């Protein structure tokens, strides 16, 4: 599904937020806030499922190892 933005400025803001999310600078909850602010309503459901599929809990490796 093609992303539809509310405005050109919000497209730039959202693309920057995606980059920050990909490097771990912002978490999934904050990314959802950017989605809601920048994207048209129709694409929010698809965006949220993509974020859920890539997000993982912080420290999962530490506790999963049993140490």
State yes or no: pLDDT of 10 exceeds 70.
Answer: yes
Q: Do 4 and 10 contact (CB within 8 A), yes or no?
A: no
pLDDT digits (tens, 9 = 90+) for 13-51: 999 999 999 999 999 999 999 999 999 987 666 666 676
**How far apart (Å, rounded) are the C-alpha atoms in residues 64 and 5?**
39
Name residues whose C-beta falls within 8 Å of residue 27's C-beta, 6 or more positions apart in sequence.
Answer: 21, 55, 58
> Structural domain boundaries of the chain?
8-54
Q: What is the reported pTM? A: 0.61
Q: Do 37 and 9 contact (CB within 8 A), yes or no?
A: no
Q: Give the pLDDT confidence score for residue 41 in this predicted structure.
A: 83
Q: Do 51 and 32 contact (CB within 8 A), yes or no?
A: yes
Query: Cα 50 to the chain's mean position, in Å?
Result: 8
């Amino acid at each position: 599904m093609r992303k539809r933005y509310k405005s050109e400025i919000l497209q730039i803001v959202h693309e920057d937020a995606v980059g920050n999310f990909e490097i771990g600078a912002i978490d999934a909850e904050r990314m959802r806030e950017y989605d809601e602010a920048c994207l048209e309503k129709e694409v929010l459901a698809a965006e949220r499922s993509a974020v859920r599929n890539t997000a993982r809990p912080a420290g999962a490796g530490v506790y999963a190892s049993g140490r």
